[in-house]
Amino acid sequence: MAAIRPRSTVSAWRPPVPGIAEVFHARFTDHAYPAHVHDTWALMIVDGGRVDFSLDRERHGAGVSDAVVLLPPGVVHDGRTVTEAGFRKRVLYLDTSVLPERLTGAAVDAPLLADPVLRERVHALHLALGERDPLEAQSRLAFVRERLHGRLAGRGEPPAAGTVPGGPRLAARLRELLDARVVEGITLEEASARLGHSHPTHLIRSFRKAYGLPPHVYLTGRRVALARGLLLAGAGPAEAAAEAGFYDQAHLARHFARHVGTSPARFARSGRA
């Protein structure tokens, strides 16, 4: 009896993160894309199997490795499975606010980026998008963008926090912004604009250097602390999640367990015992 192939699956959504037009996760057991173009950049990592594709009439192959695939906008490409097991992939479609079209030529010349650091950053960005935490996703996208610019434009990493004047003061001002916006939150773009700083990655590095953790982790900790007080005051987990700035009750539960070691419901019951 022939083995039954796993079913192909697709999950796609548009996150509330400027610069990301679409998130696309798929498992294909037997699929071939026709030749086509996108008006966005396609940033792909392969999680299983292998995919073969052409870009500007040159063929390439990508499998589970440290390589990241970057397909530029407006350039013809296709894609197909090449093994019986098919392949699994995660793709981010990025608009030109993330990467300018002038970098298209560099991407056509080298669409496979053998860069473990970049791959880990893309993976972490997907996880943040799954958590539906806009500030974390924006922060991680900033570092993905920085790495891609460095690879495509031939530049190295920007200076680390502490080598640019004003790092500690900048971190303190960002902390004040976060403290004032615990529930409603603040986007990385707005924070950068309000602080008069055009380099989000330096803003994040300055904060991490000053306080030992990135801004989104600090904000999550503040929200967990707020939720603890609400739960002990008698609020239910769903109410506490909404009033503390979490996306939903499940979002609160995940972070609450990491910070407190128990679920919001159990924590609330312990206060009433």
> What is the reported pLDDT for 162?
44
Please tell me whether residues 24 and 81 are part of one structural domain: yes
Describe the chain by its helix, strand, coil percentages, rounded to 5: 45, 20, 30
Please tell me whether residues 138 and 255 are part of one structural domain: no
Please tell me whether residues 207 and 254 are part of one structural domain: no
> What is the reported pLDDT for 221?
93
d(CA 128, CA 138): 9
Please tell me whether residues 118 and 183 are part of one structural domain: no
Asked if residue 160 is part of any domain, the answer here is no
Asked if residue 249 is part of any domain, the answer here is yes
The answer, yes or no, to whether residue 4 has pLDDT greater than 60, is no
> What is the reported pLDDT for 204?
93
Please tell me whether residues 183 and 140 are part of one structural domain: no
Please tell me whether residues 142 and 263 are part of one structural domain: no
Cβ-based neighbour number of residue 120 at 10 Å: 14
Please tell me whether residues 65 and 149 are part of one structural domain: yes
Asked if residue 2 is part of any domain, the answer here is no
- Read off the pLDDT of each residue in 73-82 and give the average, rounded to a whole number: 81
Q: Domain range spanning residue 248? A: 222-272
Asked if residue 3 is part of any domain, the answer here is no
Residue 272 pLDDT class (50, 70, 90 cuts)? low
State pLDDT tens for residues 102-136: 999 999 998 999 999 999 999 999 999 988 788 99
Asked if residue 123 is part of any domain, the answer here is yes
- Read off the pLDDT of each residue in 191-195 and give the average, rounded to a whole number: 92
Which DSSP letter does residue 262 get?
S
The answer, yes or no, to whether residue 236 has pLDDT greater than 50, is yes
Identify the CATH number of the domain in which residue 129 sits: 2.60.120.10
Asked if residue 159 is part of any domain, the answer here is no
Helix H or strand E encompassing 249: helix 249-260
Please tell me whether residues 26 and 99 are part of one structural domain: yes
Please tell me whether residues 172 and 38 are part of one structural domain: no
Q: Name the burial class of residue 206, with classes exposed (0-12), middle (13-18) and buried (19+) by CB atoms within 10 angstroms of its CB.
A: buried
Please tell me whether residues 23 and 143 are part of one structural domain: yes
Q: 150 or 197: whose pLDDT is higher? A: 150
Identify the CATH number of the domain in which residue 255 sits: 1.10.10.60
- Total domains in the chain come to 3
Asked if residue 217 is part of any domain, the answer here is no
Please tell me whether residues 140 and 250 are part of one structural domain: no
> What is the reported pLDDT for 6?
62
The answer, yes or no, to whether residue 35 has pLDDT greater than 70, is yes
d(CA 87, CA 90): 10
> What is the reported pLDDT for 3?
52
Please tell me whether residues 26 and 106 are part of one structural domain: yes
> What is the reported pLDDT for 33?
74
Stretch among 62-66, 157-161, 187-191 having the lowest mean pLDDT: 157-161
Asked if residue 264 is part of any domain, the answer here is yes
What's the whole-model pTM score?
0.82
